[in-house]
Amino acid sequence: MIEVRPFNTLGAADHGWLNAKHHFSFASYYDPKRMSHGSLRVWNDDEIAPNSGFPPHPHSNMEIITYVREGAITHQDSLGNKGRTEAGDVQVMSAGSGIRHSEYNLEPVKTRIFQIWIEPTQQGGQPCWGAKPFPKGDRSGNFVTLASGFKTDTDALPIRADARVLATTLKAGESAEYTLDADRSGYLVPATGAIEINGVRAEARDGIAIRDETKLKITALADSELVLVDAA
């Protein structure tokens, strides 16, 4: 089953400094049919105005992955971590037993991110944060694992979840393949471009919910940048 969720059907919130689209129920947006997809709980498509952002606020018991599409995001948390993550790079925060953090766009231009929340396999634990560059050239034509709960994914940022976050870039006409185990689900979003997945077309920033499909073949109809979550 491949269900395309067009970008214009997503939940929306415009706060002036933040223009957000919600793939799943979040904050004031509620849709009982879009609560989660396996252990994937949140996928927010955020545009953050220059010199603005999220002031300090708490989280617990959630794996929070930030994929920076344009611009950069500056992180600071109650553990003393500080870091700037720019376009193409990824940061991960395991909220564990509890952490406070802020995320600001300190750049002179708009920042665009995907913020992805995945439910952890266990509650509690020591919170932690990390970031890593993932050059887009290194993932041209192939899915690269950005964050993972599997020890075999040694080059990925670790998360405490039965899940992977992957990305690829495809030139128009190129294809990439991915195999989902029978008991797992996928959620794919083209950050840019347009694609066909197993013959089903989707446009930039649409959500694609995948179940009961083990072999995925994704063909770019235009130059495309893709992010995929493989979750239990």
pLDDT digit of tens for each residue in the chain (232 aa)? 999 999 999 999 999 999 999 999 999 999 999 999 999 999 999 999 999 999 999 999 999 999 999 999 999 999 999 999 999 899 999 999 999 999 999 999 999 999 999 999 999 999 999 999 998 878 989 999 999 999 999 999 999 999 999 999 999 999 999 999 999 999 999 999 999 999 999 999 999 999 999 999 999 999 999 999 999 9
Q: What is the DSSP letter of 221?
A: S
- 203 to each of 66, 119, 171, 190, 206, how far by Cα in Å? 21, 27, 15, 7, 6
The CATH homologous superfamily to which domain 2-231 belongs is Jelly Rolls (2.60.120.10)
DSSP string, 111-173: EEEEEEEE--SSS----EEEEE---GGGGBTS-EEEEES-TT-TTSEE-SSSEEEEEEEE-TT
Structural domain boundaries in the chain:
2-231
pTM: 0.97
Task: Give the three-state DSSP class for 93.
Answer: strand
